[in-house]
Structure 1
Amino acid sequence: MRQEGVQETVAMLHTVPALAASLTELAKEARPGAKVLNFVDESLLQDTIAAGDPPPHVLRRLIAYATYAKESGAGVLLVTCSSIGEAAERARPYAELPVLRIDEPMAEEAVRTGVRIGVLATLASTLGPTTRVVERAAARQGPAREVVPYLCEGAFEALRGGDPARHDALVLDGFGKLAAQVDVVVLAQASMARIVGDAPAGAVPVLSSPRSGVAQLAHMTA
């Protein structure tokens, strides 16, 4: 329950520093008046990329961040990195507050939108978790769905190397190839949302995680 005179606090855990500002603005829209607490830890993503999947110490540190969030007065922790989304799910039984992953609402929307669902990613470590979260959403909703994964080779490296234009070009090229095969395209990483406005007019629907993922904060009690 909310307490009169006590400011609500929501926490977010990021692995891409550049996303913190834009997601904070979305959090303020979703939960007006709430204090937004941001944790930024690039090493969680770096270690996951190196291992191929979140290694055990990433799970332990994620649980620690949930503890920090709780101790700081937060009522919820939103994990904004899809690569560690499955670790966020595994952390839930050990956390004293709800732990959300940013891409679950997007997955639910995708299976409501089409029968053939394309998953577009720039990281192999994200492609698998996002594909699986869409497949689980499809299983919950009943009718058969086909999930088609597509990895944009070289795009993530271009973005890390300071060449966002090449990143966007590679993502758009991958999108064009994938869109020809599916009813809806899911962008696996929040950092890919920038390309939505550049998608060709009349193409299949494109779903990204930031807005729908952060909107979950509106429904959490503090």
Structure 2
Amino acid sequence: MIEPHPLVAMIHAVPAAHRIAHEAFAREFPQATVWNVLDDRLLDDAREAGGLTDALRRRMLRLIGHVMDGGAQGLLLTCSSYGEVVDTARALWTVPVLKSDESMFKAALAGPYRRIAVVASTPPAVPAAVAQLEALVPAVRPDRPVDIVTALSEDAVGAADPESVARHLADALRAAGGTDVEAVLLAQYSLTPARDALAALLGVPVLDGAGAAARELRGFLSPDGTPTARTPAVAP
């Protein structure tokens, strides 16, 4: 039987992801007991090595093993750069292990959206998100094509507040010909605070990775497997 307050571990590579993911779980899966593990050298070491090395993969697997030994009943890796390690973890442990944005991509593809936008404020985030989204299409919606529009706004990085970030992203999306998209996906956890403002500007659903992951783990781990009345099934 699932415990009323399941232990969900999150492994972070940057401190900002800790705050954003924690807020998402407080909103979407408040029943969970959250355990945060931070290694703030994971990204820098990967950049210096030119990508993931066998040593870095083993390092992440040791962190995963640490939380599994500690009784984690679910795990979210908030760093997309280490997403490939999740496939290995799933072969080693039976508890749900999620990649940073995997739940968001699956939720978008399972929806009715035919034209989806991926927005980002850093250049590497765009191709990484599109590659993951396209890889899931055959499994999630093989009979329905999806048109993907991408928009990058590096001006959003230095914006003073979430409303300004949203305006920069909306301008970039319009410039990319995305005025007719039916849903928007945030390619970085750091953009999550601008989600609601961006949805208001565009008039379409805006999905974020942390919120979608919290909802999927809630489905796995809550006693009845259903959303609570206080939270939506899909981000507004």
What is the TM-score with the length of structure 2 in the denominator? Answer: 0.74
Q: Does 1:116 align with 2:115?
A: yes
- CA offsets 1:117-173 (integer angstroms, 9 cap, x no match): 2211223433233212211222221112232333333644x47xxx66798254343
**Cα RMSD (Å) of the superposition?**
3.2
In the alignment, what sits opposite 1:16? 14
Residue equivalent to 1:213: 213
Q: How does 1:128-147 map to 2 (within 5 A)?
A: 128-140=127-139, 141-142=141-142, 143-147=144-148
- Displacement of 1:80 in angstroms is 1.7
Q: 1:148 aligns to what? A: 149
* Structure 2 unmatched ranges of 5 or more: 223-236
Distance 1:113 1:209, change over 3 A: farther
Using the aligned pairs only, state the percent identity: 28
Amino acid at match of 1:10: V
| Alpha-carbon offset, residue 58 of structure 1 | 3.2
**Structure 1 outlier segments of 4+, above 6 Å:** none
Listed one character per residue, the Cα deviations across residues 4-37 of structure 1 (whole Å, up to 9, x for unaligned) are 9xx6321011223133234224435555554311
* 3-state DSSP of counterpart to 2:135: helix
Equivalent residue number for residue 233 of structure 2:
none
Q: Aligned with 1:107: secondary structure?
A: helix
Uncovered stretches (5+) of structure 1, i.e. residues with no partner: none
Cα deviation for residue 108 of structure 1 reads: 1.8
- The one-letter amino acid of 1:66's match is I
1:89 and 2:90 are equivalent in the alignment: no
Matched, 1:196 2:195: yes
Letter of the structure 1 residue corresponding to residue 67 of structure 2 = A
8 Å Cα contact 1:115/1:145 also seen in 2: yes
Query: d(CA) in 2 for partners of 1:52 and 1:124?
Result: 16
Q: State the alpha-carbon separation in 2 of the partners of residues 126 and 52 from structure 1.
A: 16
- Whether 2:182 is the aligned partner of 1:183: answer yes
SS in 2 for 1:64: helix
Structure 1 residues 53, 202: CA separation in 2 closer, same or farther (over 3 Å shift)?
A: same
The CA distance in 2 between the partners of 1:191 and 1:27, in whole Å, is: 15
Q: Aligned to 1:65, what secondary structure does the other structure show?
A: helix
Between the aligned partners of 1:52 and 1:177, the Cα distance in structure 2 is 32
DSSP-derived class of the 2:43 partner: helix
Task: Find the residue that maps to 1:102 and give its secondary structure.
Answer: coil
